[in-house]
Amino acid sequence: MQSKRTIALGLGVLCLLAPAGVRAAEVVPPPGRGAIVIELFTSQGCSSCPGADEVVSRLGLDERTRGLVIPLAFHVDYWNQIGWTDPFSAYGWTLRQGAYCRALQVDDGPYTPQLVVDGRSELNAAQERRVLGQISSALERPALARVSLRAREAEAGKPGLLLAIGAEIDEGVDARKLELLVAVYENGLVTSVTRGENGGRSLRNDFVVRRLESAFTLEPRKEKHKQRELRLKLDRDWKRENLGVAAFLQDPVSMRIYAASSLPPAAAEARSE
């Protein structure tokens, strides 16, 4: 039986798909519950993907779920041979999706649009109500770790984004090793697609992962916390005012994510150089 808290969270998330004018239920995180990460594996060459892109954008931008749900959009490259080359695609994102498919035992292999929720479950991102149900369930789980993330003042002559990051875990974490990953994402990307399944459409993409780096690893049996400073390189073509940062603690074997934190574009851009 669902708890009252789970039902409330489900109603709050489902309200994002309601027609304009419908009063929204409040989304309230359980005590001690941090943010969850949802990873969308998508492509501009896939006709089923724009709808999923839109749902994920709403979850990340809406004030009722912003801060609770951290979306990351990984544009895979295996659609590039079918009429349209996605300008945000990368082979590395295809490899990451493959790692999830192995860890989560996806029989049919990689597909788009595929959504992975907190590294623990996957589903077709075009199934909106199932997506929102999975997110509500993930928000119900107690957090066993915490991630801290702050932007530091950039030093003169040293371009990029300087971050102070850290992780702390509880006794209940049974992983042999955890990795703190840091992603730089960009919002507000608009592309006029001229060929392929979405030919003739103008597509907007948010939370597009531009860079993914490992900050450090942590062995729960030996240490319960770690912190460091990390400088991230930013390409000149990226719009600084649209860049955000997400950090999440992940088991590289099971692919489970234990904790996450994020800096929205305004917070990240204000301190970059």
Boundaries of every domain in the chain: 33-269
| 267 confidence band (pLDDT: 50, 70, 90) | confident
User: Per CATH, which fold does 33-269 belong to?
Assistant: Immunoglobulin-like (2.60.40)
Please name which of 27, 42, 12, 63 lies closest in space to residue 114, comparing C-alpha atoms: 42
pLDDT above 50: residue 64: yes
- Angstrom distances, CA of residue 186 to CA of 73, 111, 121, 204, 206: 10, 23, 25, 11, 6
pLDDT digits (tens, 9 = 90+) for 2-26: 344 443 444 455 454 443 332 323 3
The per-residue pLDDT for 67 is 86
Look-up: residue for tokens 């808290």?
Answer: 5
Average pLDDT, the chain: 87
pLDDT digits (tens, 9 = 90+) for 108-159: 889 999 999 999 999 999 999 999 999 999 999 988 999 999 998 667 667 7
Distance between CA atoms of 94 and 92, rounded to whole angstroms? 5
Q: Dihedral (C-alpha) 103, 104, 107, 109: value to the nearest 10 degrees?
A: -70
pLDDT digits (tens, 9 = 90+) for 151-184: 986 676 677 899 999 999 998 898 999 999 999 9
Within 13 Å of residue 86, how many CA atoms lie on the same side as its CB?
31
pTM for the model stands at 0.89
96 DSSP β-pair partners: none
Across residues 41-53, what is the average pLDDT?
A: 98
Please name which of 245, 127, 208 lies closest in space to residue 135, comparing C-alpha atoms: 127
